[in-house]
Amino acid sequence: MRTVGVEEELLLVDPDSGDPKALAAAVLARAALDDPGQDVFEKELFGQMLEFATHPQSDMADLGDEIVRIRKEAARHAGEIGCAVAALASSPLPVSPSLSVNDRYRWLAERYGVPTWEQLVCGCHVHVSVESDEEGVAVLDRIRPWLAVLRAISANSPFWQGQDTGYASYRSRVWNRWPSAGPTETFGSAERYHRTVAEMVATGAILDEGMTYFDARLSASYPTVEIRVADVCLRADTAALIATLCRALVETAARDWRAGRPAPGHSVSLLRLGDWQAARFGLEGELLDPATLRPAPAERVLRSLLEYTAHALADSGDADRAERGVTDLLRTGNGAREQRRLLERTDSLRDVVTACLRLTQG
């Protein structure tokens, strides 16, 4: 059974006004005071962000429980210093980000200028274990067309600097300003993957291997494939669904590789269009079907994902969980839809943020 771990970035906000607050250092100090050996929470690029990582889990129910538990821990630590955590992929309210004290972060700001200062966005990264780099690269080559579907499921950033962007995942448009972000070509082998990364670093356009911000990549720290397309999800059960689908995609792709089935040959240019479609409309319109890269209703594409991964989901005992999760998601909508519904009801972005504080903790 492949193990799965999840990293989530949360937004720190004032619990009354909803304004982002640069209090990550204080929250981390509070967490360390409660548990001197804690390795769950980390700082991120800006002081308004807090990152956490779960432990690797083989049972998706346990993983979902851990996400809820850590979100509540984060909320408790934040509350003790007068702020709150929101699982929002972008701030609905205007904000001036505060860069965290870190040599690497200063290098990014100096190197890339304005795009760095616009990276106050929160994502969800899913790590799925693989047996080797060869298997991992084979997986990367085969899951490429499906990553935009995960983008649509997780979309949770419709607002930016006090305005509706028209996008379901505006975070993805901001994130893709990094020079190394986005979909990749097929690599064919681990040797070619590592050679490509080394050549990218050698250009000097990126600092190191950690800046290969591909939509999915081999982790430099763990024996995993790291799938990085998702917005942080408003609801913890959506995050658990994303993790469940990621494991099923990885297992299905690995089986295809072992069976000698070739990777899809979709060009990066078409994959970018599919990613844009998912970011723009989320689950509200059409997505590009991963098999044909032609428009199809979002519900049909999600059902195709369940069908494509059906054997892997059944073998891991996750088929019913995934089916329920997709059905519930299609009924209630992703975070972008929920945020817009809240705005329609309250006519206040501040009220949207404060309502999302409760949804963050389930």
CA distance 46 to 42: 11
Which pTM value belongs to this model?
A: 0.97
- 115 burial (CB, 10 Å; 0-12 / 13-18 / 19+) is middle
Q: How far is CA 120 from the centre of its chain?
A: 14
Tokens of 93: 């309210």
Determine, yes or no, domain membership for 73. Answer: no
> Integer distance in angstroms from the first to the last C-alpha of the chain?
28
- 203 burial (CB, 10 Å; 0-12 / 13-18 / 19+) is exposed
Domain count, the chain: 1
Determine, yes or no, domain membership for 12. Answer: no
Determine, yes or no, domain membership for 71. Answer: no
Determine, yes or no, domain membership for 7. Answer: no
Tokens of 79: 């509350």
Whether the predicted pLDDT of 250 surpasses 80: yes
Confidence of residue 137 (pLDDT cuts 50, 70, 90): very high
Note the pLDDT of residue 150. Answer: 98
Note the pLDDT of residue 36. Answer: 83
On whether the CB atoms of residues 46 and 100 are closer than 8 A, the answer is yes
Task: Using DSSP bridges, classify how beta strands 286-288 and 4-13 pair: parallel, antiparallel or unpaired.
Answer: unpaired
On whether the CB atoms of residues 229 and 215 are closer than 8 A, the answer is yes
269-296 pLDDT, tens digit each: 999 999 999 999 999 999 999 999 999 9
The residues near 19 (Cβ < 8 Å, ≥ 6 apart) are 13, 93, 95
In terms of Cα–Cα distance, which of 9, 206, 25 is closest to 120? 9
Helix (H) or strand (E) holding 174: helix 170-175
Question: How many of the other CB atoms lie within 10 Å of CB of 267?
Answer: 12
Confidence of residue 119 (pLDDT cuts 50, 70, 90): very high
Note the pLDDT of residue 39. Answer: 83
Average the pLDDT over each of 35-49, 50-64, 170-184, 219-233 and give the range with the smallest value: 35-49
Instruction: List, as own/partner pairs, every contact residues 101-104 make where C-beta atoms lie below 8 angstroms and the sequence separation is at least 24, other chains included.
Output: 101/25, 102/43, 104/207
| pLDDT, average across residues 319-328 | 98
The amino acid sitting at 74 is A
Segments forming the whole domain that contains residue 124: 102-360
CA distance 361 to 197: 38
DSSP single-letter state for residue 335 = H
| pLDDT, average across residues 28-52 | 92
Determine, yes or no, domain membership for 268. Answer: yes
Determine, yes or no, domain membership for 32. Answer: no
Note the pLDDT of residue 35. Answer: 84
On whether the CB atoms of residues 85 and 11 are closer than 8 A, the answer is yes
Confidence of residue 85 (pLDDT cuts 50, 70, 90): very high
Determine, yes or no, domain membership for 85. Answer: no
CATH of the domain at 243: 3.30.590.20
Determine, yes or no, domain membership for 246. Answer: yes
153-164 pLDDT, tens digit each: 999 999 999 999
